[in-house]
Structure 1
Amino acid sequence: MNILELSEQEIVRRGSLDEMRRRGIDPFPADEFPVTGYSDEIKETFTDDAPQREVSVAGRIMGRRIMGKASFLELQDSHGRIQVYVNRDEICQGEDKDLYNVVFKKLLDIGDFVGIRGYVFRT
């Protein structure tokens, strides 16, 4: 396909894919990501006094709010939607903050599919 036939959005998304690959990130590892929970089940079974539970969820980014070092995603999986909290210093524990500042904030977009692993809690 000729680059002149692509929309502006397609050009931007292909640029993001190229940048992820340049950084050593495989943008299509969906068959490798283990899912251990779904949005509806996580919300139905969560209680504030329950022991901390680690889950892996996968779905499409439906919305996001970036607020400096912390951000929120609205993730839609096959069972519904759930809010995801992302903390820069937790996903980038060393001095290099590019995974958050570049990949998360600039290269991921609404509509992208992602896999996320973390602990269930109430904000």
Structure 2
Amino acid sequence: MSFTVVHTADVPASGAEHPASSPWDRRLNGALGITRFGLYEVDLPAGATTVPHDHREDHAEDAYVVVRGSGWLVVDGTETALSVGDAAAVTEQPERWFRAGEDGCTLVAVCA
């Protein structure tokens, strides 16, 4: 197979894919046949948060792009406001999580 296309809304949300998953994560790997990195759409309702986590054990880095709404990326207790079009990256060591703003927040997350 040279390529695959899916509509993200057709991929069920699941909080059971990995320890940092929230109930709003859509892990796109299986649907797309990706095996070398994690690709997620995270669609947080207003005020919702992802699970605080780090990647000290698996040595992964995370990258995020906000595609709808706004919220805060919290890294080791420091909050940074993010909105549509903002991209952020976090290395393996710090604890990180997202909190959605009053209109919710959708982001694309890559974990590699």
Same fold? TM cut 0.5: no
The TM-score, its normalising length taken from structure 1, stands at: 0.26
Give 1 or 2: higher strand fraction. Answer: 2
Bigger radius of gyration: 1
TM-score calculated relative to the size of structure 2: 0.28
